[in-house]
Structure 1
């Protein structure tokens, strides 16, 4: 009886749901303040005389540190664990916000809020995402969607909380309270226990007959054809008869009467009655060994040329793979007459420092054009998303709405965002469509709805389109990070996600201030919002081109295979 060790797999539940709660707490405490940046820092930036370009520079630096921390995530998680990395990131988040309260210059805000806080947010975001992917496989979409609901729930409450804190304590007191809130992410990080503690045995439905067993060969009666002495000796050694000749496909087969069908799981087929030329020594596979279990070598006699020899007169070697310890004949010594070249092993090339860095950080991913296009699209959308969150409060202020109305607008958008993150993930997991395709459809709708919102000034219409914007945004973001885990293996996931974050950081640094400059140069927030939509459509265009190229390649391969 064979005892096969059970394969341990992620639980897809169990403590994984506790980990989801922990990630939601981390997201709530560290990420929910970002959409309220304009509301929180608006008065301070006006005092410092910093316009939209300055605000864009602060947010771009924050995003750059969040994303460039991806270079550290892979090595840190390998050296320590995702829980420890998340704990360190939570401490940096709280420290960065607390140290911002005495800020009286833009440089101070950049160092404390953008750099220290941004590094902490980046470490926690990456570590929590990797943790969820270790806990879930089939329900990964639901887990990520529910965990991101913590961010959306924070976006619902944080605008109102920031408004109340500003009224009660002004900016400096409010930022201290928010720093204390950020430190509560330590609780969520502590819940991210190693997934190895909670692995479960893999469940399989084993059916009878799955395993192939060696079957005994039934001895045939009335075997008219005589075997060679070597074959007879072989049969005596292993106690079985030979396999009937299957050379019918070659036109030389005579069916025996009264015989049983033979099993050919342990012996190779023997070609009988065939003549060969003795001009050249050769070895080949006899006929077709469908089982792959044995190899028969035909070696011609080294005697003087004469009449053509029958195969039965030649020297035959048969090696039975099912019985490797049995010596089947006495002619194995003939193989020693052949000259064998000694095996040559190429010396192992010494790895350079750059090669070690590439292997350690899995930089070979940068050779994959599909991965690069994936990162390009995600980075372009991320720039547009971050700029929208920063500009929206200023946009509402420019068309005559006060802080109370702005806080209400942001909360309404967050409500529908939460609904989308709670309702859609179970549906998306059951739909047989790639997460990347669902994400592309979602961001396409996001771009259109935001461009429509940019042209609204009426209170009711703004609320209506914010409801639409919030829902399609939630529908898109539930698949944002899953597009990486869907494409990458679990072993390369930390590196793939880290490089993806670095790509986002590069695009934020390059394009973030550009969008702020467009707003300042045109003195128009609607144009700035339309520029964000343009970036989103670039993502859709790049991915659509890739889909078309892959479709043509698949079609060409199918056509060539059909022709063959």
Structure 2
């Protein structure tokens, strides 16, 4: 063992036979041990870990973030298009097989239910597998779902292929895009969000005509196989999803001049803290040093290993050591927070069975999911969840039922495909414009968000009353504008109301409510259609659910005041406890 003293701090290295050195990096009041070669006065290259306290790690707000935005664009272009393509792609097949409107609605609604419920488990899955693995696996699963749907023996088989498999894969992939993109941007978040929204809308524009063309040329089986092959290309987009910790940028804090008395008091506090840290330094013997190498050995075996550079030296000018030459690509997909909370989850018992490890992983995912659901205790989140539930259920069910309603009125599938595409073009324009405008402080995001609810509901009430195709197209254009005004600010409104740190649990909890909404509203719409034999009444019912989203938003000021009072009470309780002590 070799002991080196640096400014009162003792650093212990293993014997000379060991190539890797262990350096303790203090971050967020906890120690993380990583193999490291120390180089004098070099900056830390490991993302998220700082060697000095004079800076702050912030999102890149560009750089690799634009490639992440490109990845979300590719996934959003290919996967969400299966929603508007459902009616065009499967309507002929379901009608020829004699499927009822209730069966069709159940297939679509169960898919939407599973699609949205997967958003709740996306964050725990990311913590276990990493961003890219989750994105690639979910994309492959969605592609497989459409490939096997081409060989569907009966309409009920679509419950397995489309509802279950594509619901799981597409739900995770799309949720991944909504969660990762805001982490890479701060000032340019609106512009980056508009790129992802452009992908969603372009998929809706191109998807229905392409599906119709493929059906005319290759039939139901050939068209479904080709759509499955196209979806497989979303794996390319998932490859850009690096952990944001790899690309954080350090911004220097501005020096603040303090009065002489305050400066002396601050120096005294720092001296006490450094003295306490020096006294708590743990000295290791040789056997303990060999045990200290076990965590990294296990981590290297599981994550692919870390590679350090060659010669190194210790800075004697400062007691803080930094990671200088770690190969970032070797770190895999381990976020810094994951290393801090549970650095080496498999160190205690290296002989655990694989089934036991899988069960522990599953339990961690379940615990993380349950923890995210507790955010529903906030009435603000409940209102956001109600908005999303009523709006998205009405929106997607309306898009699904339009081809059936137009065919019943004597229109062709080509007419319905063009109506959906026109609405998607207007949807695209409004999403891009609204998302970009959200970066400006004077832009009223909440007013625009609520106005989208109102416009969407009015067009849904109007569409069944129209007969001429041109007026139907014009109404669908207004429908697309309303959708774009709301969906362009969907996650931005969540961040505006609850903050960026709460985006993942808020998005998951909202999607959880939306999922159960699809399970209830979808079959109800099909039941209304079978009972009344009228698509108009079904569309009016969907317009009413969207209007409820606008009305519920007026409860947000009261919910904000309630959360503020509850937060004030929680802050007052520790103060009372400290005063008693």
Q: Which TM-score applies when normalising by structure 1?
A: 0.70
Alpha-carbon distance in structure 1 between the residues aligned to 2:107 and 2:486: 26
Q: 1:423 aligns with which of 433, 436, 444?
A: 433
Alpha-carbon distance in structure 2 between the residues aligned to 1:165 and 1:72: 35
Equivalent in the alignment of 1:112: 161
SS for the counterpart of 1:65 is helix
* Structure having the higher Rg: 1
Distance 1:324 1:528, change over 3 A: closer
SS for the counterpart of 1:49 is coil
Q: Check if 1:473 corresponds to 2:483.
A: yes
Distance 1:421 1:549, change over 3 A: closer
Q: Is the 8 A contact 2:121 2:369 kept in 1?
A: no
Q: Is the 8 A contact 1:92 1:116 kept in 2?
A: yes
Query: Cα distance, 1:423 vs. partner?
Result: 2.2
SS for the counterpart of 1:12 is coil
Q: Is the 8 A contact 2:460 2:479 kept in 1?
A: yes
Query: Cα distance, 1:429 vs. partner?
Result: 2.1
Equivalent in the alignment of 2:249: 200
Q: RCO (CA 8 Å, sep 6+): is it higher in 1 or 2?
A: 2
Q: 2:175 aligns with which of 126, 134, 143?
A: 126
SS for the counterpart of 1:363 is helix
Query: Cα distance, 1:424 vs. partner?
Result: 2.3
Unpaired segments of 5 or more residues in structure 2?
A: 1-51, 274-362, 566-581
Query: Cα distance, 1:321 vs. partner?
Result: 8.2
SS for the counterpart of 2:257 is coil
Equivalent in the alignment of 1:211: 257
Query: Cα distance, 1:148 vs. partner?
Result: 1.7
Equivalent in the alignment of 1:176: 225
Equivalent in the alignment of 2:536: 526
Equivalent in the alignment of 2:494: 484
Q: 2:201 aligns with which of 146, 152, 174?
A: 152
Equivalent in the alignment of 1:260: none
Q: Is the 8 A contact 2:119 2:172 kept in 1?
A: yes
Q: Check if 1:5 corresponds to 2:24.
A: no
Query: Cα distance, 1:490 vs. partner?
Result: 4.2
Alpha-carbon distance in structure 1 between the residues aligned to 2:160 and 2:468: 39
Query: Cα distance, 1:212 vs. partner?
Result: 0.4
Query: Cα distance, 1:454 vs. partner?
Result: 2.4
For residues 6-45 of structure 1, the C-alpha deviation after alignment (integer angstroms, 9 at most, x for no partner) is: 2111111122111111111101111112112111111111
Alpha-carbon distance in structure 2 between the residues aligned to 1:162 and 1:14: 36
Between 1:396-405 and 1:166-175, the stretch displaced more is 396-405
Q: 1:496 aligns with which of 483, 506, 515?
A: 506
Query: Cα distance, 1:357 vs. partner?
Result: 2.9
For residues 225-276 of structure 1, the C-alpha deviation after alignment (integer angstroms, 9 at most, x for no partner) is: xxxxxxxxxxxxxxxxxxxxxxxxxxxxxxxxxxxxxxx997xxxxxxxxxx
Alpha-carbon distance in structure 2 between the residues aligned to 1:96 and 1:359: 25
Q: Is the 8 A contact 1:56 1:512 kept in 2?
A: yes
Q: 1:389 aligns with which of 399, 402, 409?
A: 399
Alpha-carbon distance in structure 1 between the residues aligned to 2:424 and 2:525: 24
Distance 1:361 1:461, change over 3 A: same
Alpha-carbon distance in structure 1 between the residues aligned to 2:488 and 2:177: 15
Unpaired segments of 5 or more residues in structure 1?
A: 216-263, 267-292, 295-319, 326-352, 556-564
Equivalent in the alignment of 1:378: 388
Q: Is the 8 A contact 2:197 2:432 kept in 1?
A: no
For residues 441-461 of structure 1, the C-alpha deviation after alignment (integer angstroms, 9 at most, x for no partner) is: 211111112212221111221
Alpha-carbon distance in structure 2 between the residues aligned to 1:118 and 1:359: 18
Distance 1:127 1:550, change over 3 A: closer
Alpha-carbon distance in structure 1 between the residues aligned to 2:465 and 2:195: 33
Between 1:117-126 and 1:428-437, the stretch displaced more is 428-437
Equivalent in the alignment of 1:458: 468
Query: Cα distance, 1:493 vs. partner?
Result: 3.1
Q: Where do 1:71-110 residues align within 5 Å?
A: 71-110=120-159
Q: Is the 8 A contact 2:65 2:184 kept in 1?
A: yes
User: Aligned Cα RMSD in Å?
Assistant: 3.0
Q: Which TM-score applies when normalising by structure 2?
A: 0.68
Distance 1:418 1:553, change over 3 A: closer
Query: Cα distance, 1:138 vs. partner?
Result: 2.4
SS for the counterpart of 2:410 is coil
Q: Is the 8 A contact 2:455 2:478 kept in 1?
A: no
Equivalent in the alignment of 1:32: 81
SS for the counterpart of 1:138 is coil
Alpha-carbon distance in structure 1 between the residues aligned to 2:559 and 2:506: 23
Query: Cα distance, 1:509 vs. partner?
Result: 0.5
Query: Cα distance, 1:522 vs. partner?
Result: 1.6
SS for the counterpart of 1:141 is helix
Query: Cα distance, 1:527 vs. partner?
Result: 1.6
Q: Check if 1:412 corresponds to 2:458.
A: no
Alpha-carbon distance in structure 1 between the residues aligned to 2:216 and 2:376: 49
Query: Cα distance, 1:57 vs. partner?
Result: 0.4
Alpha-carbon distance in structure 2 between the residues aligned to 1:360 and 1:545: 26
Query: Cα distance, 1:549 vs. partner?
Result: 6.2
Q: Check if 1:444 corresponds to 2:454.
A: yes
Q: Where do 1:25-424 residues align within 5 Å?
A: 25-202=74-251, 206=254, 210-214=256-260, 357=367, 361-424=371-434
